[in-house]
Structure 1
Amino acid sequence: MPPEDGGGPALGRIVELGLQVLAPVTALTGVLYYFGYIRYQEFFAHFGVDLTSAGITRAGFVVGSARVAFGPLAAALLVALAALAGHYALTPRLTRAGGRPLAALGACALVLAAVAGAGLVGLPLGTALLPPAALIGAALLAGYLSHLAGRRGVPEPLRETFDRTRTARIVLLTATLTVAVFWAVSTYARERGREAAEAFERSLPLQARAVVYSRERLFITGPGVEVQQLTGPGAKYGYRYSGLRVLTHTADRWLLVPPVWDPGTSTVVVLPDMAEEIRVDLAP
């Protein structure tokens, strides 16, 4: 028998496998990018800086969030593995049992949905992460209940309706789970960004010192910032500013802050990275 033209079936399987691998990688990259964006946004907002002024790239959002998000992602995978093991362990018992296990799971899903609803309307629940986590749990339990109901057999009067609404259930549960995941990611990212900014503010005296040399006077002021006019013969720069701390540095700009941060009076100094006009030296 002659081979298939172009290796059709084999190529199709390779493409399908590639898509199966790329889909979760793409989704994970999107979540990491969103997490990094929200975290950096909250961090710089603490110092009154708009995120666009920080010059963080898309790759920077992903790389900067990978280390912080590793713990929650690993925990989520462990929970998923535990749920999968529990499914295989409990399925035979659930199949033989009556409707009580399904009713108990349904009650748990309703309670979790109620907790998520309470968080949406602003009721205090102790932690901001509880409502999105509850919504994730409610969506997963609802999907699992739908799966179990299909395996156990739906009563005949409901069979036709159950079959017709399969696509609608999948779409609704997928949309709910997606919203819940991004809600949880946003909440966690804001908390971590706020914590990082507060920790950075407390450690400002220990951060790397920046010494700025400039040809023209820059009028940089702030508590702990000193300026010295350089008048020596042949001096390339006319002014020297010391005492500043590095908030961040990108390919084309420096963001510097005074060593003592006062939310009411302190400002962030944004300087272009220009070797001819401005030079920034770092000291421990």
Structure 2
Amino acid sequence: MTSPSPDPATPLGRLGQVAGSVAQVVAPLSVLTALLFYFGYASSRARYLYFGVDVDTIGLSTQDYVMRSPEPLLTPLLVLALLAVVVAVVHERVRHRVQAALADAEDADPQVAASGRHRVERGSRQARAVVVTGDALLLVGVLLLVGFPSWGGWAYYPLVTPLLMAAGTGLALYGRRIARSLRPGQPPSGVVTVVLSVLLVISVFWATATFAEWSGRGAAREAARHLDRLPAVILDTTERLHLTSRGVRETALEPSEGQTFRYRYRDLRLLVQGEDRVFLVPERWDASNSTLVVPMDDSVRLQFRFLNDPP
């Protein structure tokens, strides 16, 4: 025996409605936050790895990664939006043609009905061709996936493989949908549709993650070409650092009463600031350079220089 549902007019019923509405909003927001976090993490990891820093040692928060996600996601989102517009326009035209062909096939005029049936058959052949093309692209993507030991070293492998799989599954799904619309009595293949849909989502996710990593590495290369655009830092320390990076100037500070800092380092730039440390790089890129990790405690003193651009 099932228990009766709460009356919406009662406080318990209103509370249930509010809880259901909150759940419908919170769940998508949680998924969206997780996706933004992952893509921000993938981009940041590739970016700081270029400078020899493991992003997990920086101590960035979830909000930091989420705030860093729009840059790598901008291009994929624009591409997906344009692709959605193209697909919507094409689908609208195809739908009108399918409806017109099916209506003519049921017309009382034998000539009109014959023309309609001919168009339905031609549309079915075209839909099967789309399905075969999609299956072929998907097969190539799967072969690349299976052949990872041989092809994994190809620079474009992590992008070409998911794009082939995404294009293949998308065409296969759409071709099957058009074929079913041309045969109204044909039962839908639910298992195949679910499997292809899951493959499509995974492939798009993989391609977006790859682009996020490439975007992070590209941003790192751009920053390395223009390190002088990063915030300029003057570092004072209590002990000599014995830096090996070229271009960093070291000077000894004159001893004085109460002065604990003995060395000053110039021509450093702030790469990123973590929770309890900062990461500094030389002002000019060189193959022998390294990233300096400085703890935020009493053993160091940081000064940030003004830009050389008078107001």
Whether TM-score is above 0.5 comes out as yes
1:236 is displaced (CA, Å) by: 4.0
Mapped contact 1:223–1:259 kept (Cα < 8 A): no
Partner of 1:280: 302
Partner of 1:56: 60
Partner of 2:128: 103
Partner of 2:167: 137
* TM-score computed with the length of structure 2 as normaliser: 0.75
Partner of 2:113: none
* Greater mean alpha carbon deviation, residues 15-24 or residues 58-67: 15-24
Task: Decide which of 189, 202, 206 is 1:183's aligned counterpart.
Answer: 206
SS of 1:129's equivalent in the other structure is helix
Partner of 1:222: 245
Q: Does 1:32 align with 2:36?
A: yes
Residue 173 to residue 54, structure 1, CA distance change in 2 (3 Å): same
Mapped contact 1:41–1:193 kept (Cα < 8 A): yes
Residue correspondence of structure 1 range 4-23 to structure 2 within 5 A:
4-6=8-10, 22=26
Query: Residues of 2 paired with 1:8 and 1:184: CA distance?
Result: 46
Residue 146 to residue 5, structure 1, CA distance change in 2 (3 Å): farther
Query: Residues of 1 paired with 2:183 and 2:12: CA distance?
Result: 39
1:279 is displaced (CA, Å) by: 1.4
Q: Does 1:267 align with 2:284?
A: no
Q: How many residues align?
A: 273
Partner of 1:252: 276
Q: CA RMSD in A?
A: 3.0
Write the letter of the residue equivalent to 1:37: Y
Write the letter of the residue equivalent to 1:135: M
Partner of 1:85: 89
1:178 is displaced (CA, Å) by: 2.6
Query: Residues of 2 paired with 1:7 and 1:32: CA distance?
Result: 37
SS of 1:81's equivalent in the other structure is helix
Residue correspondence of structure 1 range 64-75 to structure 2 within 5 A:
64-75=68-79
Task: Map Cα deviations across residues 112-143 of structure 1 (whole Å, 9 max, x no partner).
Answer: 32442464332869785333223222222222
Residue 115 to residue 21, structure 1, CA distance change in 2 (3 Å): farther
1:87 is displaced (CA, Å) by: 1.8
Residue correspondence of structure 1 range 163-182 to structure 2 within 5 A:
166=190, 168-182=191-205
Query: Which entry has the higher C-alpha Rg, 1 or 2?
Result: 2
Overall identity of the aligned pairs, in %: 27
1:108 is displaced (CA, Å) by: 2.8
SS of 1:228's equivalent in the other structure is strand
Mark the runs of 5 or more structure 2 residues left unpaired by the alignment: 1-6, 102-119
Query: Residues of 2 paired with 1:143 and 1:111: CA distance?
Result: 13
Query: Residues of 2 paired with 1:257 and 1:142: CA distance?
Result: 50
Residue 185 to residue 14, structure 1, CA distance change in 2 (3 Å): same
Query: Residues of 1 paired with 2:85 and 2:31: CA distance?
Result: 19
Q: Does 1:112 align with 2:137?
A: yes
Write the letter of the residue equivalent to 1:107: V
Task: Decide which of 250, 261, 268 is 1:237's aligned counterpart.
Answer: 261
